Amino acid sequence: MITADVSVDVNPTIVTSFAIYLALIFAIAIYAARRWTGSMEGFYLGGRKVGNFVVALSAVTSGRSAWLVLGVTGMAFVDGASAVWVVPGYILMELFLFLVAAPRLRRFTGRMRDITLPDYFTSRLQGGLKLRHLTVWVLVIFMIVYVASQFDAGGKAFASTFGLDQDLGIWITALIVLCYTLVGGYVAVALSDMIQACFMLFGLVVLPIVVITSLGWGGMIDILHALDPALLNPYALGVGAIISGVGIGLGSPGNPHILVRYMSIDDPAKLRTAALWGTVWNVLMSWGAVYIGLAGRAIYQDVEALPGQDTEQLFPYLAADYLPPLIVGFLVAAVFAAIMSTADSQLLVGSSGIVRDMYERMLRPERRPSQRYLVRLSRLVVLFLCLFSAGLLYVPYAQTTVFWLVLFAWAGLGAAFGPPLLISLFWRGATAAGAAAGIITGTVVTITWFTMDQWAPELAAAIPPGLDYELIPGFAASALAVWLVSLVTRRPSDVDRIMADLASGQDASTEPAHGTTTPS
């Protein structure tokens, strides 16, 4: 057992390889800025000209974030094989989205020239400004929390890798994400996510192979069994924990930074190929994260042996202890890839909600500014959201573990938007009032469940196992609200045409809308 704290020397080779990674990301941003940032559709969706491989890797990478690289590895360190149950839910849900829901969403939004999730709800349900504004406010609130959690993870990664103060690391992370997102917009984000997916896959596959090989498979199993046989039992935490873990997948259909990937693909038919790439990446990265946690537990055996007694710093420390500096630098890049691939996407989604769905839509058609002005305004909003998210971490009690902070934001978005989206894609009876009821109900239940142990600890203790994660009751309550309210309110008058567009509507995305320039 290693009893001393593990430390990472600031090796010039590590710094150099990490700098190469950053240079690559900024080169992509500059390339994207020269071709695809002249219009709102170009800045936020890449003109709907993105290929299936980029969409697939970008979708799964932005969905996993630091939660996978830092959070799941830390969870597996503590709970052992039981951590595997956080994996299958989102893999299966995103496979369903790629194959079934995403083609309908892409066809409809392409035909209606919708750029954002509020755009889609307005076109599909004809809810007007009230539904649009409700969607934007809920979206921005949870997105800010989500981005803040990614910056917090970046601060931890800089502290553990380069010996910097964690607060300084937070601001460096925010600056890096801000710069290339401002410059290149969605295409820079999507292409960099594709590169970052490769870094993440490399790190999450190579590191566990190296460590387990050094221990021997049987040796690792023997150590874990000697520490606690429950570490090898995937059912050790009980049925409730399994339900909560699998339930994480309910968040995918409600997280707009994943949905916009489907909306950006050049051809809806290619989403089937994207499903294959995305699922392979999801499986390999997820299992790699679990095995890193198991291998790390066998090596360090107790959280007391980790610097800061923080399991979420396991990945960079384990890499530094077992791999040469050049490789460590690229694995450190994998951590930042996970962080940046989510933070940049969420900043764009939040910005699009404010500029596209609030500012532009509140203006009369004759007063609407040029596309280039709106893009410049979008960049300013990205700057504001970035600064606000980083500043949020200085609010008392705002900093918590990456794992739980991300899960809260993931749950809020999933419960608020997942049921209205899925129901409206497949049920002709969905209405704008029903969607609004679902968004409000999902938001309120998520926040109530998350904070219940503070204002009603006895009630929180009485919650049955499996329902303690706020996404599950929030999603169920939201779906029920959408259905019940839709039954007693008026559906769109042209619902037959809308459902036809969802099922097989002709894609109009190749025909530039008035005032836009579609990149070739």
For 50-74, the pLDDT digits (tens) are 899 999 998 998 888 778 888 899 9
Q: What is the three-class DSSP state of 50?
A: strand
Q: What tens digit of pLDDT does each residue of 416-449 get? A: 999 999 999 999 999 999 999 999 999 999 999 9
**Residues paired with 130 in a beta bridge:** none
Query: Which alpha helices (H) appear in 248-324, and where do they start and end?
Result: 256-264, 271-300, 314-322
How far lies 393's CA from each of 150, 405, 505, in Å? 11, 11, 45
The rounded distance, in Å, linking the Cα atoms of 33 and 132 is 29
Positions of the chain with pLDDT under 50 = 1-8, 508-520
Rounded (5°) CA angle 13-15-21: 105
How does 22-59 read in b/e, with b if 16+ C-beta sit within 10 Å?
Answer: eeebbebbeebbeebbbbbbbbbbbbbbbbbebbbbbb
CATH superfamily for domain 12-395+403-504: Sodium/glucose cotransporter (1.20.1730.10)
Token look-up 């739980």 returns: 404
The rounded distance, in Å, linking the Cα atoms of 150 and 156 is 10
Short-list 111, 128, 4, 93, CA closest to 48: 111
Dihedral pair phi/psi, residue 398, rounded to 5°: -75, -35
How many CB atoms sit inside 10 A of residue 249's CB? 22
Short-list 59, 293, 71, 347, CA closest to 182: 347
Domain ranges, ordered by start, for the chain: 12-395+403-504
The rounded distance, in Å, linking the Cα atoms of 211 and 54 is 31
Token look-up 């007693």 returns: 488
The rounded distance, in Å, linking the Cα atoms of 314 and 30 is 34
Q: What is the three-class DSSP state of 265?
A: strand
pLDDT of residue 516: 37
pLDDT of residue 33: 67
pLDDT of residue 404: 72
The answer to whether 437 touches 417, Cβ cutoff 8 Å, is no
The answer to whether 436 touches 127, Cβ cutoff 8 Å, is yes
Tokens linked to 457: 């600890």
Note if the pTM is more than 0.95.
no
pLDDT of residue 436: 97
35: Cα within 13 Å, side-chain hemisphere = 15
